[in-house]
Structure 1
Amino acid sequence: MLGAPKAPKGIKTPAAQWYDEQRLDHFDGANFKVWSQRYFVNDTFYTPGGPIFLMIGGEGPADAIWMVEGTWIQYAQQFGAICVMLEHRYYGESHPVPDLSLSNLRYLNSRQALADLAQFIDFFRIRMKLSNNKLITFGGSYPGSLSAWFRSKYPQYVDGADATSAPIYAQVDFREYLQVVTDALGTSGTQCVEEIRNATQTMYAWWGQPEMRPVLEQKFNLCDKIDHTNTLDLAGFFSNTAGNFENVVQYNKDNRAFEGALGTNITIDTLCEIMTDFTRGDPVQRYADVNSLTLKTYGQTCLDYTYTKMIADMKKTDWNSSAGEGGRQWMYQTCAEFGWFQSSDYAKQPFGDWFYFPVNFSFIQCMDIYEKEFNGMAIYNNVQDTNRYYGGRDIAVTKVVFPNGSIDPWHAMGVTKDISKDATAIYIEGTAHCANMYPATDQDPQQLIDARVQISKLIGQWLQD
């Protein structure tokens, strides 16, 4: 996901604009309801006849900082493009419905989002008098998937697509996520992975020991006392503490500081240095030190891990609730379309045995949050339908580039080998999620530098065809 809490101070960004005639349901001709969708425009670099560059919004607020920063802005300068970013329905300030009740969520899916893009492009071309200009789409993570799918399903609308870090294969049990995380942590030394494994094994043993549970509560600064009989709380605790490592791996050394992202100075090496610093104490203490670093970085007073509190939060339907910032919406999309549940089912990962937070843990959440709407069979059917509709890894598409980083766990659901000469994969060793989209730095590895150049050349070819 691309986005940020807010743009850093002192950077001037374009004001929001609104498309007031977006259809609520593109696939029901009898539904005439419309709503206002937020978008941003930067025409600073536009030269007459230049292309339209469209940044696709994703599962969070569209951040206007992307209208003045990022690699696509360099491409816009190079090709004289007008830049526009369209916020995804149901995220940020683009609210098609009064609230996030289950009945209102039925209009939230990727197919409606693609139709939003098509209708918006029709409007934007007329408004800006750009009827014949070529159009290139950009997206990172889920918006990268949308970028590829839009080119596949609406080829008449787009002349080329950048699908960065795009998971285009839907899968229920995303056990490969922790496989990539484990391999990435191993780049800092095998001892790091072993110390994580030692810590989680001891922590699980302590969970069942009355005299040691208070020690866990104190070391990890838990918001609530442990109920050792509650297996859902256990899953929440171990998945949350594993998440301290997952998040760092996914964005390792990505240049996200410009968008106000927190924790950009914490890397794989940072965490592994803690885990292998024996002066800090036993493995559990070192694991707890990583947790303390995460809490401090994100300004959290304690680790909230209990299942009932999480479900109560996710069931809130008000746009102004914490769940309304995107968590309730994105969880719905994973249950209804994609899966991608990051489980502990990969046997060689160090964050606990398979039963600590198995894929079934996500099934239970889907059912408890959305009023039994999704059971395991329904989720499998939904994911199968998504791959059937878009093609999965056999997507039929041309003029798309698929950049992925080797450290990014999402590359396991993406395209890492050329589909054809017109659908190119760029596999960048040593980089993480959406690295090629962020502004360049002096520390960028050569493969990342080369990837940006290759993408620029492909855009140039698409614009000349």
Structure 2
Amino acid sequence: MSTNMKLYTILFNLYVALISVDGVKKFHLGRSNGGNLGIPGGDYQSNLPPPQWFKQKLDHSNPSDLRTWKQRYYVNDSFYDFKNQGPVFLMIGGEGPADARWMVTGTWINYAKKFNALCINLEHRFYGESHPTLDLSIKNLQFLSSYQALADLANFISSMKQKFRLNEKVKWIAFGGSYPGSLAAWLRLKYPHLIHASISTSGPLLAKVDFKEYYQVVVDALREKTGDDKCVNELRQAHNEISQLIQHSPEVIEKEFRVCKPFGLASQNDMKNFYNSIADDFADLVQYNEDNRISADVNYKNLTINTVCDMLTATGGLPAYKKLAAFNDIVLAKSNETCMDYSYDNMISDLRNITWSSNGARQWMYQTCTEFGFYQTSSAEMDVFGNNFDVDFFIQQCQDVFGQKYNLNFVSNSAAWTNNYYGALKIAVGRIVFVHGSIDPWHALGITETKDNDSPAIFIHGTAHCANMYPASDNDLAELKQARIEIEKYLSKWLD
């Protein structure tokens, strides 16, 4: 088979694998549609538990505010003996809807079977179906914060103790992945009398406005998984060619990348959004490489760092930008998009939507502007993705969506407050396992080395975001399998 035919065979197989996958909106601010922790893969023959609703306080910081709302949660008590009470496992919801499928599968369910645990999953306020307010106006979003979410959990735990008549010796273990991984650690820190131990997976503990390390890890991940610099060099070459062609022959890139409007009508922010979008395609690919989410079925497994890099490094005379455009075709097919919409105004318009149809994008944007930053910029000393989306580009989004006061000084002070409040990477608390994967860009803001034997870190080489939480697979790396065993050992020790 010729080298050109090999390239087109790879592209065709990836395309066929993706056209059957439900479309999702674009990856933005390091967040996938539905939140960073996806839905676990597996066969769901068991009956899923129905949603239940808890009367929650609106504002925990104001005792005189008696307003309440209904918060969604799920319970699986099939492993629990209420007469001989074991531990309670609490899965913390994050920047997406809670999903009942997590109640019957995933690594934490395996642990629950072993320790005869009661399993509860509480949805995060302002995400999924947990709507504390009528809409997502800025006046209402003031009640969206990690502080309020932790207070929700504390209030919920106290009430569940009464509802299930749990004795005071029952130990609660918190589980969380991604932003909930941070919450799991912070819940143990702020409410140690309620939470006995926590498993914090892929949790960014350091709030940082200019998260330039994100794309450094993306590039390192390409090298780590392929074993050389060929893919990185080809990606760098593609971006150089794109920049040159946009200057001199923009119609070539317009056609190859199937943009929705010509570059001649594009604003400066549109062009920043264009470059950010094609970089995000690789960020999404790396962040979820070879995981066991429900969307990562047999066909979708074809879309990995290695198969895409095989496509980019295939010989045969095609310029690098054309091969990157072929990957862009796959991403568009995955999202059920007919053209690449890089319009900055369209993006801002979507984020200004104050109705509950925003899929969590507006809410997460608000939390980044008021608590965390986490902006994946191109500011690092590297030229693979160019330097077309610096921190000012993301601060401008905060201001255009929420108002002029959300400037760099405001966001920086907010991130500093978050770090002071929780301790960032100097968090001082025992009985937490910090779990990260080397392929996951978020590990750059987490604890990856053990500093205290009572708060161990497990760093899994070759795995991506929240990999240890998903159902096990025979194809899992040996280090991933061992990490699950280590976590179980710590649970056994702390529950003894």
Residue equivalent to 2:129: 93
How big is the shift at 1:302?
A: 1.6
Alignment of 1:80-229 (within 5 A): 80-132=116-168, 133-187=170-224, 188=226, 189-209=228-248, 212-227=249-264
On the 8 A contact 2:53/2:71 being kept in 1, the answer is yes
Match 1:334 to one of 357, 368, 382: 368
The CA distance in 1 between the partners of 2:71 and 2:296, in whole Å, is 22
Which residue of structure 1 aligns with residue 359 of structure 2? 325
Give the corresponding residue for 1:54. 90
Deviation at 1:359, TM superposition (A): 1.0
The equivalent residue for 2:111 is 75
Displacement after TM superposition at 1:366 (Å): 0.4
Q: Deviations over 1:133-181 (max 9, x none)?
A: 1100000000000000000010001010000011001111111000100
Amino acid in structure 1 at the alignment position of 2:156: F
- Whole-angstrom distance in 1 between the partners of 2:133 and 2:283: 33
Corresponding residue of 2:48: 13
Partner of 1:34: 68
Query: Which whole-Å CA distance do the structure 2 matches of 1:233 and 1:314 have between them?
Result: 15
The answer to whether the aligner puts 1:398 opposite 2:434 as a matched pair is no
Report SS of the residue matched to 2:120: strand
Q: Quote the offset at 1:131 in angstroms.
A: 3.3
Give the deviation of 1:280 after TM superposition. 6.9
Name the amino acid aligned to 1:177. Y
Q: CA deviation at 1:5?
A: 11
**Secondary structure of the residue that 2:142 maps to in structure 1?**
helix
Corresponding residue number in structure 1 for 2:333:
296
Contact 1:4 1:61 in 2 (8 A): no
- Distance in 1 between the 2:41 and 2:229 partners? 37
Cα displacement (A) at 1:296: 1.2
SS in 2 for 1:257: coil
* 1:269 aligned onto 2:306: yes
The answer to whether the 8 A contact 1:178-1:349 is kept is no
Counterpart of 2:398 in structure 1 is: 366
Given that 1:6 and 1:63 are in contact with CA atoms closer than 8 Å, whether structure 2 keeps it comes out as no
How far apart in 1 are the matches of 2:140 and 2:264?
Answer: 35
For the pair 1:442 / 2:480, whether they are aligned, the reply is no
- By how many angstroms is 1:230 displaced? 2.0
Shift of residue 6 of structure 1?
11
The superposition leaves residues 88-134 of structure 1 with CA deviations (integer Å, 9 ceiling, x where unpaired) of 00000000000001111000000000000000011111111113211
The 1:106/1:7 distance shift into structure 2, 3 A limit, reads farther
- Determine if the alignment matches structure 1 residue 243 to structure 2 residue 270: no
Cα distance, 1:150–1:315 mapped onto 2, change above 3 Å: same
Q: Give the direction of change, closer, same or farther, for the CA distance of 1:150–1:218 in structure 2 (3 Å limit).
A: same
Query: CA shift at 1:258, angstroms?
Result: 6.6
Asked if structure 1 preserves the Cα contact closer than 8 Å seen for 2:348 and 2:397, the reply is yes
Distance 1:399 1:9 in 2: 32
Q: Which amino acid aligns with 1:393?
A: L
Amino acid at match of 2:95: E
Decide whether the 8 Å contact of 1:262 with 1:297 is kept in 2.
Answer: no
Partner amino acid for 1:223? C
TM-score by length of 2: 0.89
Residues 1:359 and 1:373: Cα distance change in structure 2 (over 3 Å)? same
* 1:44-65 Cα shifts (integer Å, max 9, x gaps): 1113311100000000001111
**1:428 aligned to 446, 460, 474, which one?**
460
Paired amino acid for 1:40? Y
Q: AA paired with 1:344?
A: S
User: Separation in 1 of the partners of 2:150 and 2:411?
Assistant: 22
Structure 1 distance, partners of 2:257, 2:299, is 21
In structure 1, C-alpha distance between the alignment counterparts of 2:434 and 2:340, rounded to whole Å = 37
For residues 408-437 of structure 1, the C-alpha deviation after alignment (integer angstroms, 9 at most, x for no partner) is 101000000113111110011111111110
Higher deviation after alignment, 194-203 or 380-389: 194-203
In the alignment, residue 186 of structure 2 is paired with which amino acid? W
1:163·1:400 contact (CA, 8 Å) conserved in 2? yes
Higher relative contact order, structure no. (Cα contacts within 8 Å, ≥ 6 residues apart): 2
Equivalent-residue separation in structure 1 for 2:390 and 2:301 (angstroms): 29
Alignment-derived partner of residue 38 in structure 2: 3
For 1:413-424, what aligned pairs fall within 5 Å after superposition?
413-424=445-456
If the length of structure 1 is used for normalisation, what is the TM-score?
0.95
Moved more, 42-51 or 359-368: 42-51
**Matched residues, percent identical?**
46
Change over 3 Å in CA distance of 1:249–1:349 after alignment to 2: farther
Distance in structure 1 (CA, Å) of the matches to 2:97 and 2:383? 33
1:345 equivalent to 2:345? Answer no
Supply the distance in 2 between the matched residues of 1:204 and 1:274 (Cα, whole angstroms): 21
1:281 maps to 2:343: no
